[in-house]
Amino acid sequence: MRLVILDDYDLASEWAAKYIRNRIVQFKPSADRFFTLGLPTGSTPYGCYQKLIEYYRHGDISFKYVKTFNMDEYVGLPRAHPESYHSYMWNNFFKHIDIDPANAHILDGNAQNLEEECQAYEQKIAEAGGIELFVGGIGPDGHIAFNEPGSSLVSRTRVKTLAKDTIVANARFFGNDLFKVPTMALTVGVGTVMDAKEVMILITGAHKAFALYKAIEEGVNHMWTVSAFQQHPRTIFVCDEDATLELRVKTVKYFKGLMHVHNKLVDPVLSIKDQ
Amino acid sequence: MPSNKSVSDAPITQFINCRILRDNELQREDLWVREGRILDPEKLFFDEQGYADKRVDCEGSIIAPGFIDVQINGGYGIDFSQASEDVSDGVSFVAKKILEHGVTSFCPTLVTSPPEVYHKVLPQVKVHDGGPHGAGVLGFHLEGPFISAEKKGAHPEKYLRTFKSGGLEHLMEVYGSLDDVAIVTLAPELPGSQSVVRELSQRGITVSLGEHRVLLLVSESVSVQPGRFHALSNPSVSAVVQFHHRDPGIVGLLTSDGIPAGRAVYYGMIADGIHTNPAALRIAHRAHPSGLVLVTDAITAMGLPPGRHTLGQQVIEIQGLHAYVAGTKTLSGSIATMDMCVRHFKQASGCSVQEALEAASLHPAQLLGISPKKGKLDYGSDADLVLLDEGLHVKATYISGEEVWRKGQ
């Protein structure tokens, strides 16, 4: 695991965006060889999306040969609802970049048959050649995507009923009315994300600190599903100072001491203009 | 491939680098158009996996719905009220020229005239869509002859009329036809007017209460005489209340609690800086901002260069934005263009950019009952657009998504 610690949210967002940019540019995607990217939603990755849009606007990256797979989507929420993950991705990312709509995949929470939708999604990922880089976040209860505490660590894409914690955390997007928050969601499984060649988890804010502690300093445990990535060969956790508040000082010092190594991954920052 | 053609394979245009007037504010959003209407790009992306065929870089322009002029008597030497053989050509000529002012739809206006004029002119022009040929005609605005002799303004007194018994039939005798009429201005204090107003509204024609002194009468009678008030309470009537002069007595009507909830009152204002006192503009805007409709009330001399012009029986002298009866200091009418009115209104009233733009687009559309098809940039609205710079000068005009005028060409 690499634990990359930046001073604040903006710097963490920028580091993550630079990393994604370098990975895509280095990969040299083309019509025969797409870069497959797994994507999250929520307030944590927002800053990262803003930076990626900026890089696109400056002509430094293109998403023309990038295929994206989002982690999750609510069940039963109209796609045009402002809080659906389709709306989030359109407004905060897709509408600003040059991705081909046919290559932007998001689970359909209004599908006639939800199980079939989930299986079809796994199929699409396989047909795309698997995910090159899966970007994710972490919930306050340590979940990755909607893999709530108790989710199998080898789970696949499926329907999940949301935990109370998650519903409460999401209420702020639904006018603080708990009854308006969807209770089910389609989500990629822990196993689905583990299949990716590389996983990058973004964690910012003090309210996520305990979950980060549980995820990396304690054992692999299905109650804190992000801990599964301790067993992935290539995981990067990108966080800000606040998110490290529950970690041991020794852990933080060790990884901060490695920043000069980590920074080689984003410095120099690459551009398609130079290719 | 721009879309999977599941809905349509018509070409899609995306206007980028612009600020659009939507939901009463200027938003930094792209505007998408297909088949002459505003398109929902999110639906296009997810449902059709589509994207734009063509991108238009607006270079930071403001995009507003095309302006709608509901009171314009002519221009460029053309007088709509003149009973000539080629009224249609005259209307078309003006329709094409006003594209330069950002006007995409209008109501050619006829002042008080004898029946022969109406019988000759009205059948020659039909309601029709705009396009590269010119702004769309929404229907005639018949201003008179059923207006009050007390405040006739420039209307020739000898042709003013009152309603004979049989209200609407009499109206039909005078006008000949109401098929392509969008607005009728009349004086509600004329006996017999109530049934006329009702019948006109039932035909979908907007009724306008003419001349400001009449307004005072109406505003007083709104609370005093419930019977008279009936004209305003007809659900399909949206009353346009006009005043050309400096008297802010309109406030009494606009802020009257006699107007039932859910009913809208609109009032036309000529914001050329000459015909309406800036204080009156400010007061009216603050009293009832959502009802303010900018109109040019432009006369034949609008668009003509400075100097003397012989128009019909009159000789007019144009000096800047003033049009005088030649050799006098008597104003003969307004010659400001719609975009000038928008700029002046903003400056005189201190309103926001969006309020100024809505007064020339959204409010006239609402008045005529054609919103949101016209006057808005909602998904599904007609793509009649005006591109403006920071100072609200027109850079380009579009009708049904097609560029019909561009500055410098």
Q: Across the interface, do A101 and B49 touch by the CB < 8 Å criterion?
A: yes
Taking only the tens place, the pLDDT of each residue in A93-104 is 999 999 999 999
- Rounded to whole angstroms, what are the CA distances from A111 to A70, A79, A116, A117, A118? 16, 11, 9, 7, 10
Select from B42, B48, B49 the Cβ nearest to the Cβ of A90: B42
Residue A232 a catalytic site member: no
Tell me which residues of B are annotated as active site.
297
Pick the range with the lowest mean pLDDT from A170-174, B148-152, B384-388: B148-152
Among A14, A73, A132, A141, the one annotated catalytic: A141
Of A170, A203, A3, A2, nearest to A72 (Cα)? A170
Sign of the C-alpha dihedral, residues A106, A110, A116, A118?
A: positive
pLDDT at A38 over 70: yes
- Contact residues on chain B for A70, CB-CB shorter than 8 A: none
How distant is the Cα of A188 from the closest Cα of chain B, in angstroms? 20
How many other C-beta atoms lie within 10 A of the C-beta of residue B97?
Answer: 19
pLDDT at A272 over 50: yes
3-class SS at A151?
coil
- Contact residues on chain A for B6, CB-CB shorter than 8 A: none
Who wins on pLDDT, B136 or B326?
B136
Sign of the C-alpha dihedral, residues B192, B197, B198, B204?
A: positive
Pick the range with the lowest mean pLDDT from B53-62, B158-167, B248-257: B248-257
Q: Across the interface, do B49 and A95 touch by the CB < 8 Å criterion?
A: no
- Rounded to whole angstroms, what are the CA distances from A108 to A70, A173, B41, B42? 11, 20, 18, 15
- Contact residues on chain B for A124, CB-CB shorter than 8 A: none
Q: What is the average pLDDT score of chain B? A: 83
Written as one letter, the residue type at A263 is N
Written as one letter, the residue type at B323 is A
**Tokens 């907007």 identify what position?**
B206
Taking only the tens place, the pLDDT of each residue in B26-58 is 999 999 999 999 999 999 999 999 999 999 999
Domain made up of B12-64+378-406: CATH architecture: Roll (2.30)
Check residue B251 and give its pLDDT: 52
How many other C-beta atoms lie within 10 A of the C-beta of residue A39?
Answer: 23
Q: Which residues of B are annotated as a binding site for Zn(2+)?
A: 143, 212
Select from A80, A100, A102 the Cβ nearest to the Cβ of B42: A80
Count of all residues that appear for chain B in the document: 409
Beta bridge partners of B298: B72, B334
- What are the helix and strand counts (H, E) for chain A? 9, 10
Instruction: Assess contact for B236 and B204: CB atoms under 8 A.
Output: yes
Torsion angle defined by CA atoms of residues B353, B355, B360 and B362, in that order, rounded to the nearest 10 degrees: 120
Q: Across the interface, do A104 and B45 touch by the CB < 8 Å criterion?
A: yes
Structure token pair of residue B210: 């003419």
What is the CATH code for B66-368? 3.20.20.140
Taking only the tens place, the pLDDT of each residue in B179-229 is 999 999 887 777 777 788 888 888 888 888 764 333 332 332 222 222 222
Taking only the tens place, the pLDDT of each residue in B56-94 is 999 999 999 999 999 999 999 999 988 788 899 999 999
d(CA B159, CA B139): 22
Taking only the tens place, the pLDDT of each residue in A39-87 is 999 999 999 999 999 999 999 999 999 999 999 999 999 999 999 999 9
How distant is the Cα of B46 from the closest Cα of chain A, in angstroms? 7
| A90 → chain B, closest CA residue | B42
- Of all residues in chain B, the percent with pLDDT exceeding 90 is 52
Domains and CATH numbers, chain A: 2-274 (3.40.50.1360)
How many other C-beta atoms lie within 10 A of the C-beta of residue B150?
Answer: 11
Q: Across the interface, do B46 and A79 touch by the CB < 8 Å criterion?
A: yes
pLDDT at B155 over 70: no
Domains of chain B by residue range: 12-64+378-406, 66-368
- Contact residues on chain B for A91, CB-CB shorter than 8 A: 42
